[in-house]
Amino acid sequence: MSAPGVGLTRQLLPIYLPSVLYGVGQGAIIPVLALSARALGASLGVAGLVVAMAGLGQIAGDLPAGQLAARYGERRAMLAATAVSVLALVACALAGSVLALGAAVFCLGLTGAVWGLARQAYLTEAVPVSMRARALSTLGGSHRIGMFAGPFLGAPAIDRWGIAAAYWVHVVAAGLACVALLALPEVDRRAPATAAGGGSTTLRAVVRAHLPACCARWAWVCCSSRRCAPRVRSWCRCGPSTWG
């Protein structure tokens, strides 16, 4: 654990710079995912599905990301996720089919889940409790700054070299983030959390505990959507003057 007197300014570059750089890369590719799918012959619906694969990858990767960070450490987890994301980005840039592009975007979602969890877990371990709230809020802001700057940095590359250039911008940003991650020191591991019964909490136990509630919520959302669909269609037919 870091000494209580360590300040945010001293940790600014090694902690927040990787987050900014990775956010820049993500911001650069977000506008072109659907365009890439359309260029490969996808319909509008399929292009939307390709974009959604990133979110599905994040959902699927959240629990494994926690185990990966707990077993190997947050810093190593982020380095591994960066390496996998570079491979996925190269696959996106060279994809010859919509299926290959969707699979690569799904992998990007998986690596994004590892990044999102590991960076917060690392900061929780590295920063004193008295500064944790400010540190985590600054971390979220640094990533959003990168996401905001990404499209502006990707646009000139796209204008000069085409849509695939956005993925190479992300590759460069991820590589720089990896170099910045190498400056992060390892933190002392805390004692593993234990369940109420005294045993360690496993991935299977977490899924077993939360899966019924998640399924019930998804069922409620689906049922609500089916009930609301006729009303939405009637609003669209009647026009905005009848809304409300």
Q: For 165-180, how does the pLDDT look when each residue is reduced to its tens digit (9 = 90+)?
A: 999 999 999 999 888 8
Same domain, 221 and 180: no
Q: How many domains does the chain have?
A: 2
pLDDT at res. 4: 44
What share of the chain has pLDDT > 90, as a percent? 30
Q: What is the pLDDT at residue 58?
A: 87
Distance CA 32, CA 34 (A): 6
Q: Do 210 and 170 reside in the same domain of the chain?
A: no
- Paired tokens of 215: 């399924």
Question: Do 127 and 41 have their domain in common?
Answer: yes
Shared domain for 220 and 168, answered yes or no, is: no
Q: Is 130 within 8 Å of 1 (Cβ atoms)? A: no
Same domain, 32 and 117: yes
CATH number of the domain that 70 lies in? 1.20.1250.20
Residue in this structure with the two tokens 């260029």, named with its chain if needed: 39
Same domain, 142 and 228: no
pLDDT in tens, 7-34: 455 555 677 888 899 999 999 999 899 9
* Cα gap 138→146, rounded to integer Å: 12
Residue 41 tokens read as 């012959």
Q: Which residues pair with 194 in a beta bridge?
A: 200
The answer to the question of residue 124 being in a domain is: yes
Shared domain for 182 and 110, answered yes or no, is yes
* Percent of the chain at pLDDT exceeding 70: 70
pLDDT digit string (tens) for 95-116? 989 999 999 999 999 998 888 8
Contacts of residue 2, Cβ cutoff 8 Å, sequence gap at least 6 = 126, 127, 128, 187
Residue 5 forms part of a structural domain: no
Give the pLDDT of residue 94: 92
Q: Which domain holds residue 62?
A: 12-188
What does residue 10 show for φ and ψ, rounded to 5 degrees?
Answer: -65, -30
What per-residue confidence (pLDDT) applies to 1?
42
In a domain, 48, yes or no: yes
- 121 in a structural domain: yes
Q: Which of 124, 171, 138 is nearest to 2 (CA)?
A: 124
Q: Which residue has the higher pLDDT, 10 or 55?
A: 55
pTM for this model (two decimals): 0.73
The Cα 52–Cα 29 span in angstroms is 14
22 found inside a domain: yes
- pLDDT of 209 strictly over 70: no
Q: Is residue 198 in some structural domain?
A: no
Give a yes or no: residue 194 inside a domain. Answer: no
42 and 114 share one domain? yes
CA pseudo-torsion sign 66, 67, 70, 76: negative
Residue 2, in any domain of the structure: no
Residue 156 pLDDT grade (very low, low, confident, very high; cuts 50, 70, 90): very high
Same domain, 178 and 222: no
Domain identity same for 48 and 169 = yes
> Do 176 and 208 share a structural domain?
no
Same structural domain, 184 and 74: yes
